[in-house]
Amino acid sequence: MLHDGARISDGVGVAGIIGVLPHVTKPMNTPSEATPRPALRELTPLEARVLGVLVEKQHTVPDTYPLSLNSLTAGCNQKTARSPVMNVSEDEVLTTIDGLKRLSLVFEASSSRVPRFEHNVNRVLGVPSQSVALLATLFLRGPQTAAELRANSARLHSFADISSVESFLDELAANDPPRVVKLSRTPGERESRWAHLLCGEVSISDMPSRETQGGESFSLSEFEALKSEQKRLAHEVVQLRAMVQRMASELGITLDESSPDA
């Protein structure tokens, strides 16, 4: 090591000086040299269904999660809370799982003698659990309004209100690439529906009509408002009947209980 004020003798070459300097090792991978993560390819409808079932059952039946192949297939073929309804075999589901494994979206649990499978959606997509709940609900039920998503995802996550749902949907839509899209309202619709984009672009013309036989459609939020109003009116009727009974008793009037006005 050279000291302050020391002179380099004529017999010491540059190589000798370099030899006493500390050796610096070049990092294996610098940030600029890191390999970029490949973009996620479009999923098939069955791949989206498998992911939706895994997310759903993780919350609704945690005691049996991760899921066996049999349970996962049954969830894919479930008749309720599914749109469209599917009828797939275990072989088809197993082939689909292999494709999702290659995308790191599904893992096989190693702590069970029977093969069991779990999802990895939040890590691969880099989104919070609230967004995963919304995506899973879209995977399972197709396009829905924000109010419908709040109601249908209640067992996966309890959103405080519809605006909270819309905030997470807006974040998903702002992702690069976007994960959801807000669809244009079709004739007869009062609210716009949201659809996921993990299976590619969405064609509104391919979606089922939501019109009722009378030609008028009602959103879930409007239906819930009607139910709330009906309960309020029913409560007022009970109070009015009690008041009438009390006044009749004070006046010595006997009311006919069989009368519809009683």
* Every domain of the chain and the residues it spans: 45-202, 230-262
Length of the chain (residues): 262
Q: With beta carbons less than 8 A apart as the criterion, state whether 115 and 69 touch.
A: yes
Angle between helices 45-60 and 129-141 (to 10 degrees): 120
Least confident segment among 97-101, 153-157, 221-225: 221-225
- The confidence score (pLDDT) of residue 28 equals 41
Q: With beta carbons less than 8 A apart as the criterion, state whether 58 and 119 touch.
A: yes
- Per-residue confidence band for 212, with pLDDT thresholds at 50, 70 and 90: very low
Whole-number CA gyration radius for the chain: 31
Least confident segment among 31-45, 105-119, 163-177, 235-249: 31-45
Q: In angstroms, what CA-CA distances link 50 with 26, 61, 240? A: 44, 15, 53
Whole-structure pTM value: 0.67
Section 101-130 average pLDDT = 94
The 3-state DSSP class for residue 109 equals: strand
Report angle CA 152, 156, 162 to the nearest 5 degrees. 50
Kindly tell me the number of DSSP H helices and DSSP E strands found in the chain: 9, 5
Section 51-64 average pLDDT = 97
Q: Which phi and psi angles does 189 have, rounded to 5°?
A: -90, 135
> Cis peptide leading into 260, omega within 30 of 0?
no
> Cis peptide leading into 177, omega within 30 of 0?
yes
Q: Can you name the CATH fold of 45-202?
A: Arc Repressor Mutant, subunit A (1.10.10)
- Per-residue confidence band for 126, with pLDDT thresholds at 50, 70 and 90: very high
Section 106-118 average pLDDT = 89
